[in-house]
Amino acid sequence: MRLFANRDYRRLFSAQIIALFGTGLATVALGLLAYDLAGPGAGAVLGTALTVKMVMYVAIAPIAAAYVDRFPRRTLLTLLDAVRAVVVLALPFVTEVWHIYLLVGLLQAASAAFTPTFQAVIPDIVTEESDYVRALSASQVASTMESLLSPVLAAVALAFLSFDRLFLGTSAGFLLSALLVLSTRIPEARPSAHTRAWDKATAGIRTFLRTPRLRGIMALNLAVAAAGSIVVVSTVNYVRDELGGSQSAVAWMLAASGSGTLLAALALPRVLDRVTARTVMVTGAGVLVGGTAAAVTLVAAGLTTWTGTAIVWALIGIGMALVITPTGKVLRASVEPNAVPGVFAAQFSLSHLAWLITYPIAGWLGSDAGFAAAWSTLAALAGAGAIGALLLWPRHDGRGAATGPVAPIGAGRSAADRSTLSKAA
């Protein structure tokens, strides 16, 4: 494939895969650590830890985007990977719940600066539109492979090791990712269109608020977060307490969701060549609504079976991939090149703002009122997100095209650029 003939992209992609697998192992280990410290209250502990994560993402990502063009991006990414490696090494030694919150806060502060910077680097390395679309799909496949395979690896490892050893795998992954980033030629960031830090930090969010298709993505973020929170937060307590499963069973159930995501991500590149991003993403929101409704039915009707749960988890995984995979394509086509870091950072913050709403519902309400109450609330939010997307992202998108292509904001592009971008979504 021509995309992987690009040396710098190949190394960055490898760094992403390695760091993702390390993070996946840590996600499984963090859930089991919460269960080890809090037992039946693990959902609330995990929900709080993930809420801390979301606060860091929402607050720090726009600031990172505002200052990213002032620092060498390769050096910044390498240092952030190193910080994450050191912080993760401390997690096996926690003895109090508040230790988890502190370390997760430090870890995710580094991740909040790393991810939008990394995302904004890719279009500077992969400059052909067709290759960039495939790079987005490859990135999603990597994420879904992590969600599928890292729980499987964790399940196998847990048969021989205690869960705290999984944190060592995470730290090693971040260090290897840092070495790969350091060996990559990364162009310096384009000067921002804004000079003041506040304008840079808020430019992407302002773009979202004034652009119909991006407002639609904000609604879709809510649907993804509502459904995803059921899987991420509730799986450990649901599998251990309701299904009577083991630590390894928790990992296998998370892998069921990842398998659905993987199948969808593998099929999407060809689909997106024929179908608009809006159609794919709205369809994904409908799948998420169906998945959350099925999850509510499982607990409300007492149908808590292994097979039924695995099917529902896989359905949610499919819906998440349908929404998330085309998002980068739409973002890039919506702004001028020098505004790409800002809009990616805004999406990073706004999407995690949705998770900031849904994680506490899954964790705290689930622990206090039970799965049925929490999941019913999340299903309602998923439905609201799907309906909001339909209303906020019109088919014509204000550009007069029935299929809803994405046209760039601003008039500074050449006719060739406008032609290319009009096909992007």
**Distance of alpha carbon 66 from its chain centroid, rounded?**
21
Structure tokens at 257: 């969701």
Which pLDDT value is given to residue 139? 67
**CB environment 342-365: b (16+ within 10 A), e (fewer):** bbbbbbbbbbbbbbbbbbbbbbbb
Average pLDDT (385-393) is: 95
Inter-CA distances, 95 with 106, 165, 363, Å:
17, 16, 21
Q: Which uninterrupted H or E stretch holds 320? A: helix 306-324
| 402 — pLDDT class (breaks 50, 70, 90) | very low
Q: pTM higher than 0.75, yes or no?
A: no
Helix axes 340-360, 197-210, angle to 10 degrees: 70
Secondary structure letter of residue 400 according to DSSP? T
Selected residue with higher pLDDT from 20 and 249: 249
Which pLDDT value is given to residue 337? 67
**Distance of alpha carbon 399 from its chain centroid, rounded?**
29
| 286 — pLDDT class (breaks 50, 70, 90) | very high
Q: State how far the Cα of 77 lies from the Cα of 68, in Å rounded to an integer.
A: 10
Taking residue 400's Cβ as centre, other Cβ atoms within 10 Å add up to: 7
Which pLDDT value is given to residue 143? 58
| 416 — pLDDT class (breaks 50, 70, 90) | very low
Q: State how far the Cα of 412 lies from the Cα of 425, in Å rounded to an integer.
A: 20
Q: State how far the Cα of 242 lies from the Cα of 231, in Å rounded to an integer.
A: 14
Which pLDDT value is given to residue 225? 93
The rounded radius of gyration (Å) of the Cα atoms in the chain is 20
Instruction: Reduce the DSSP state of residue 148 to 3 states and report it.
Output: helix
Tell me: pLDDT of 408 over 50: no
pLDDT in tens, 300-312: 988 888 999 999 9
Q: Using the structure block, give the residue that is written with the tokens 């063009």.
A: 69
Structure tokens at 412: 């500074």
Tell me: pLDDT of 415 over 60: no
Q: Of 294, 324, 339, 327, nearest to 312 (Cα)?
A: 294
pLDDT in tens, 353-374: 898 899 889 988 988 889 999 9
Average pLDDT (92-111) is: 83
Average pLDDT (378-405) is: 76
Between the two ends of the chain, the Cα-to-Cα distance in Å is 22
Tell me: pLDDT of 407 over 60: no
